[in-house]
Amino acid sequence: MKAETIKKTGMYENVMKQFNHAADVMGLDEGIRKILSSTNNEIVVHFPVKMDNGKIEVFTGYRVQHNNALGPYKGGLRYHPTVDIDAARALAIWMTWKSALAGLPYGGGKGGIEIDPEKYSISELERITRRFTYALGDNIGPDLDIPAPDVNTNPQIMAWIADTYVSTKSPSTRHLNLHVVTGKPIGSGGLEGRDRATGFGVVATIKSWAKLKNKTLEGKRYIVQGFGNVGYWAAHFLEKEGAKLIGVQDASGTIYNEEGINPEDLIQYCDANRGLIAGFPNVELIDGSNFFELDCDILIPAALGNQITAENAHFIKAELIAEGANGPTNVDAEEILLARGIDVIPDILCNSGGVTGSYYEWLQNKRSENWKISAILDLLQDKIETAFDKVVATAEFYKTDWRTSAYIVALLRLEQTYKERGVFP
Ligand code: NAD
């Protein structure tokens, strides 16, 4: 899907429709609905950076802080041409629900820079990142707003953010600020396993779904849109359950092989090919617009928002959609999918392994500890199973779909907090 199309369809409109529907179903307090309908802070920065050719370019960066009733704002930074204030708003709002649903002491924030990182050298990206961090200044902080990786940002970028941020602090307090950002590389205070936390969580929800429906994942054919952090790790863990990857789409093209595509071979190829799948051998190249129509059992969107729409929802063959991405399904499409009996594990549950992994990294840094990957994955598995069961039980109680019930679990937590504390003054 082209960048301009994504902007026009509007993730913000989508998240607000989902929110208002859930608020209606549960009967959310009117005042709290008003509070949660708006964002607390919206920061837009314009900052200059010197390019490799000596010329100056001015970039625009965003950080939207939706709500912090439950704790510091938390959410990723995205480097992509579709980043704008509406996208940052929508993604920040989803983070509030996600953190609340997972029972984490966080609110929701999101941001990024409106750029195509492909067009810049590594050293330019470093200067852009550092200058963006400097421009955000004390609008972020380890107990205020904690960014993390998202589309086109990675542990290296997080390390530059942490280094720039702590460099603005006095030497004796630098180590106290390391957790200003999560998703860092291990040597810079990162958590073992944070890289795979989101994909691991996606598969944990798929396993819970299979258990609920009394199905086996052995032999299930699945397709993945986006083969970055979330898409690859989801495939890595789903393969271990005996499922077979038959189709992948990314920004460079769409590949298909009925006999199966080995995720480890594909990621090795991507690592040597600027992260892209184009040119991977022994697969059929297919038209990207047919991707969602592929005959498969499980579909994992793990790229951008608003990919599953009323235009393609009628043709989806999968029995399950596990939303690795944020906001991949719009409201019109979901109505069609539900009417067709297709299960959807909603994003705020399905990809919550990422923010939960980030929480463990944050705790590890706060306590100056180093946690073991095996313990982290056990904690994640347990947390996601609990959230999944809660969403299913709440859906039964309210006689509603899983997305609405996931929202209700989150909103009940926020409503309780506001009711107990009141609104200052
Ligand atoms: P990434 O940058 O590692 O990977 C993004 C992938 O999407 C790449 O393979 C890219 O080629 C592909 N892509 C980009 N444009 C596309 C297009 N138009 N069509 C098809 N594919 C396209 O990003 P990521 O961290 O894996 O994030 C993917 C999604 O998961 C995003 O929606 C993000 O918000 C969400 N998410 C990420 C995390 C995390 O921990 N990284 C956590 C929760 C949710």
Determine the Cα–Cα distance for residues 263 and 235; give it in Å rounded to an integer: 6
pLDDT at 2 over 50: no
Contact at 8 Å (CB) between 356 and 100? no
Question: Which structure tokens are listed for 73?
Answer: 């704002």
Catalytic: which of 110, 184, 220, 383?
A: 110
Determine the Cα–Cα distance for residues 346 and 97; give it in Å rounded to an integer: 11
pLDDT at 3 over 70: no
Query: How far does the centroid of ligand 1 lie from the alpha carbon of residue 322, in Å?
Result: 14
What per-residue confidence (pLDDT) applies to 346?
A: 98
Atom of ligand 1 nearest to the CA of 324: 30
Q: What is the mean pLDDT of residues 173-196?
A: 95
Q: What is the mean pLDDT of residues 44-58?
A: 98
Query: How far does the centroid of ligand 1 lie from the alpha carbon of residue 228, in Å?
Result: 6
Determine the Cα–Cα distance for residues 77 and 151; give it in Å rounded to an integer: 8
Atom of ligand 1 nearest to the CA of 230: 26
Indicate if ligand 1 lies below 6 Å from the C-beta of 351: yes
Indicate if ligand 1 lies below 6 Å from the C-beta of 306: no
What per-residue confidence (pLDDT) applies to 253?
A: 97
Determine the Cα–Cα distance for residues 319 and 315; give it in Å rounded to an integer: 12
pLDDT at 88 over 50: yes
Indicate if ligand 1 lies below 6 Å from the C-beta of 6: no
Indicate if ligand 1 lies below 6 Å from the C-beta of 225: yes
State the chain's mean pLDDT as an integer: 96
Pairing of strands 320-322, 343-345: parallel
Indicate if ligand 1 lies below 6 Å from the C-beta of 193: no
Contact at 8 Å (CB) between 194 and 353? no
Indicate if ligand 1 lies below 6 Å from the C-beta of 152: yes
Q: Interhelix angle for 353-366 vs 85-102, to 10°?
A: 80
Determine the Cα–Cα distance for residues 354 and 361; give it in Å rounded to an integer: 11
279-307 tens-digit pLDDT: 999 999 999 999 999 999 999 999 999 99
Query: How far does the centroid of ligand 1 lie from the alpha carbon of residue 169, in Å?
Result: 32
For atom 16 of ligand 1, the residue with the nearest CA is 251
Indicate if ligand 1 lies below 6 Å from the C-beta of 67: no
Q: What is the mean pLDDT of residues 114-137?
A: 97
Percentage of residues of the chain with pLDDT beyond 70: 98
Query: How far does the centroid of ligand 1 lie from the alpha carbon of residue 150, in Å?
Result: 7
For atom 6 of ligand 1, the residue with the nearest CA is 226
Please indicate whether residue 110 is annotated as part of the active site.
yes
Indicate if ligand 1 lies below 6 Å from the C-beta of 415: no
User: Closest Cα to residue 75, out of 107, 27, 121?
Assistant: 107
Query: How far does the centroid of ligand 1 lie from the alpha carbon of residue 125, in Å?
Result: 18
Contact at 8 Å (CB) between 68 and 92? no
Count CA atoms closer than 13 A to 274's CA, side-chain side: 11
Query: How far does the centroid of ligand 1 lie from the alpha carbon of residue 181, in Å?
Result: 19
212-270 tens-digit pLDDT: 999 999 999 999 999 999 999 999 999 999 999 999 999 999 999 999 999 999 999 99
What per-residue confidence (pLDDT) applies to 276?
A: 97
Radius of gyration, alpha carbons of the chain:
20
Name the pTM for this structure.
0.96
8-46 tens-digit pLDDT: 447 999 999 999 999 999 999 999 999 999 999 999 999
Indicate if ligand 1 lies below 6 Å from the C-beta of 198: yes
Query: How far does the centroid of ligand 1 lie from the alpha carbon of residue 116, in Å?
Result: 14
Atom of ligand 1 nearest to the CA of 197: 40
Say which amino acid occupies 354: G
300-318 tens-digit pLDDT: 999 999 999 999 999 999 9
Indicate if ligand 1 lies below 6 Å from the C-beta of 232: no
Give the position of tokens 């067009």: 119
Indicate if ligand 1 lies below 6 Å from the C-beta of 226: yes
Which residue among 154, 250, 270, 362 is best mutated to probe the pocket of ligand 1, counting the most ligand atoms within 8 A of its Cβ? 250
Contact at 8 Å (CB) between 133 and 163? no
Atom of ligand 1 nearest to the CA of 183: 40
Q: What is the mean pLDDT of residues 363-383?
A: 95
Query: How far does the centroid of ligand 1 lie from the alpha carbon of residue 50, in Å?
Result: 28
Q: What is the mean pLDDT of residues 317-345?
A: 97
Contact at 8 Å (CB) between 325 and 354? no
Q: How sure is the predictor about 1, in pLDDT bands with cuts at 50, 70 and 90?
A: very low
Peptide bond into 72 cis (omega under 30): no
What per-residue confidence (pLDDT) applies to 402?
A: 98
Q: How sure is the predictor about 108, in pLDDT bands with cuts at 50, 70 and 90?
A: very high
